Structure 1
Amino acid sequence: MPTAAEQTDAAALARRYGLSKSSVRPPLGAYLHELWSRRQFVVSYAAARTYAMYAGARLGSIWQVLTPLLNAAVYYLAFGVLLGTKNGIDNYVAFLLSGIFVFTFTQRCMTEGSRSLALNLSLIRTLHFPRATLPLAYVLNELNQMLVSLGILFVVVGFTDGPAWRWLLVVPAMLLQVMFNIGITLVFARIGTFVSDITQLLPFVTRTWLYASGIFFSLPAKLHQIDAPGWVVQVLAFNPISAYIDIIRRSLLDEHEPNQLPHAWSIAIVWSFVMLAAGFLYFWQAEDRYGRG
C-alpha cells in the first residue's frame, strides 16, 4: 500500500510528463476535438454493422430495399385498405411511405442506440476513445438505410407526380432530422447503459409515438373531421416526428400543401438544435462512468 508521500510524488511525476487518469472526463472542447479525430472509426464501424446485418441472409443487402417496402405494404393493407385512411388523400402510397420512412429512421436510432454501449462493453473497457463514437456509428448505420428508403420514395413520387425543384428541400429536412436523431440517440445511449430495462420499455413508447404522429393519415384533416379544438392541432404540431414527416411531405408532394401542420419548419429547426445540444451535453457528462462495474 503506497504511502501518502508516495502518492503525492507519483501525482507530481504524472503531471510533469502530461499523464492523466484514463477515466477522467475530458473538457468539452477537447472531447469534441477527439471525437472528430475518430470520424474514420465511426464510418468504418457503421459500414461493418451494415454488412454484418445482412451477411447471413440469402438475399444479402437486397433486404435494405425489401425491408422498408414490406413494412409499407403491411401498413398500407392494415390502415389504407382495411381502415380506409387513404380516402381523401392523393398519392396515398407516397404519403404513407414518407411517414413510415421518417418515423422508422428515428425509431431505430433510439432503440439501437440504447444498446450501443451495453453491447460494446469489452471494447469500452479495453480501449480509450470518446464513447460517443459508438452511438454516432449507430446513427450513421441507420442513415444509410434511410438513404436507400429515400431512393425508393423518389422513384415512387417520380412515377406518380413527376420530379420537381422542391425535392431539393429534402436535403435540409434530412439534415435537421439527423441532428435530432444524434441528440436523442445520445440520450438513450446513456440511459440504456445504466437502466437496462429501457430496451424493454422503448417498443411501447415508440408504438404510441407511431400512432400519434400522423403517419397513416393527415393529422389536421383528421382533427378537423372530429371537430377537435384548434389548440389540439397546435399542441400536436410540436411533436418532432410530425414536423419532420410534414416537411418531407411538403418537399415531395404538392397535394400535401393544404394539409400542412402549422409552423412545421420552425418547429423542426428548434427541435434539431435543442436536442443535438442537450443530448450531447447529457451524454458527455457521464463520459467517465461508461463501462464501469
Structure 2
Amino acid sequence: MSQVLHTPPQARAEAHEDLAALAARHGLSVSGARPSLPEYIRQLWARRHFITAFATAKLTSQYSQAKLGQVWQVMTPLLNAAVYYFIFGVLLQTKKNVPDYIPFLVTGVFIWTFTQSSIMAGTKAISGNIGLVRALHFPRAALPLSFCLQQLQQLLFSMAALVMILLVVGVPPALSWLLAVPVLVLQFTFNAGVSMILARLGAKTPDIAQLMPFVLRTWMYISGVMWSIDVLLSEHGDLPTWVADVLRANPTAVYIDLMRFALIDSFRADNLPPHVWATAVGWALLAGVGGFIYFWKAEETYGRG
C-alpha cells in the first residue's frame, strides 16, 4: 500500500500507458464500450433472427393464460372500438357528417393502438428486462425494436378483422388497399424511433412509465381517432390557424388519415392534409433516425448503476 502511495505520478502514468499498449497489442477493449454507429448497426442486423423470435415469443405468451388465447389479439381492439362507438358515435353523435363511420372509427382505433402499445412497451424495454440486459451482451436496441415488431404482428391480426368489417359494411376491395403497406412501414419506423427515445429515458427514470398513459390518452384525443379533424375544423372556423396546422401535422393523425385513405373509398384525397406523404416520411425519418442515434449514444449505460 505504501509503495503505491509513494509511486511518483509520472511512473503511474507510464505504467498506465504500458497497460493500454499491452491491451491494444492483444486486441483487448473496454468491456461494454459503445461501438461505432456502423458497427452497432451491423451487430443489430446480425441479431435480426433473435429480434424476430423474441417478438414472436412475447406475442404468443401475452395471452397464454387466457382461455380464449390469441383470440384476444383481435377482440381487445374490437371491444375498444365498440366502446368508443357507443360513447362518441351514439351518445356524442360524432358520426354525423362522417361517411362509413364504423370503418372510419375501427381504422383509427387499430392504427392508434399500434402506436400506443409500441410506445408503452418501448418505455419499459430496458427497465422491465434489466436481468436480460445485465446477463447477456447484445445491442440493447434489439429490445425496443422487438417490442415494436410484436405490436406490428398483433396489428396484422387486427387488420384481418378490419378487412372483414370493411366487406360487411359494403366497402369494396380496391387497389388503394396496397397503400396500407407503405403506411405501416412508415408508422413502424416512427413508432420504433419514439420507443427508443423513451426506452433510454425510462432506463434512467422508471417513473416515466407511470406518466405515459396520461400523455398517450391526451395524444389520442387530439389525433382524430374517434372524430373527424375536417369536420371539427369546418364546424369551428374561428379556431386559430396554428391549431389547425398542429392537428393536421400530428404524426398519429397523419398515419391514421393515410390508412383511412387507403382502405375506405369514401375517405377521399381532399380529406387529407396538404403534403401528407411528405409529412409521413418526415416524421418517420425524424423519429426513426433521431431516436436510434439518441438510444445508441447511451448504449454503455444500460443495465448499470
TM bin (shorter chain): over 0.9
- Residue 262 of structure 1 deviates from its aligned partner by 2.6
Bigger shift: residues 263-272 or 151-160: 151-160
Which position in structure 2 is the counterpart of 1:63? 72
Structure 1 residue corresponding to 2:141, chosen from 118, 132, 139:
132
The alignment partner of 2:156 has SS state of helix
The answer as to whether partners of 2:97 and 2:231 remain within 8 angstroms in 1 is no
Which position in structure 2 is the counterpart of 1:216? 226
Which position in structure 2 is the counterpart of 1:116? 125
Give the distance between the partners of 1:154 and 1:264, measured in 2 at CA.
Answer: 24
Bigger shift: residues 99-108 or 232-241: 232-241
The answer as to whether partners of 2:133 and 2:302 remain within 8 angstroms in 1 is yes
Which position in structure 1 is the counterpart of 2:253? 242
- Residue 23 of structure 1 deviates from its aligned partner by 1.9
Q: Please show how residues 148-167 of structure 1 align to structure 2 within 5 Å.
A: 148-159=157-168, 160-167=170-177
Give the distance between the partners of 2:90 and 2:280, measured in 1 at CA.
Answer: 31
Counterpart residue type for residue 210 of structure 1: M
* Structure 1 runs, 4 residues or longer, greater than 6 Å off: none
Bigger shift: residues 20-29 or 282-291: 20-29
Which position in structure 1 is the counterpart of 2:297? 285
Which position in structure 2 is the counterpart of 1:263? 275
- The higher radius of gyration belongs to 2
TM-score when scaled to structure 2? 0.92
The gaps in structure 1 that reach 5 residues or longer are none
The gaps in structure 2 that reach 5 residues or longer are none
TM-score when scaled to structure 1? 0.96
Which position in structure 2 is the counterpart of 1:22? 31
The Cα RMSD (Å) is: 1.6
Give the distance between the partners of 1:6 and 1:37, measured in 2 at CA.
Answer: 38
Instruction: Determine if the alignment matches structure 1 residue 252 to structure 2 residue 263.
Output: yes
Query: 1:180-223 CA distances to partner (integer Å, 9 max, x unpaired)?
Result: 01100100100100011111110110011011011111102111
The answer as to whether partners of 1:86 and 1:217 remain within 8 angstroms in 2 is yes
Instruction: Determine if the alignment matches structure 1 residue 169 to structure 2 residue 179.
Output: yes
The answer as to whether partners of 1:115 and 1:189 remain within 8 angstroms in 2 is yes
Counterpart residue type for residue 112 of structure 1: A
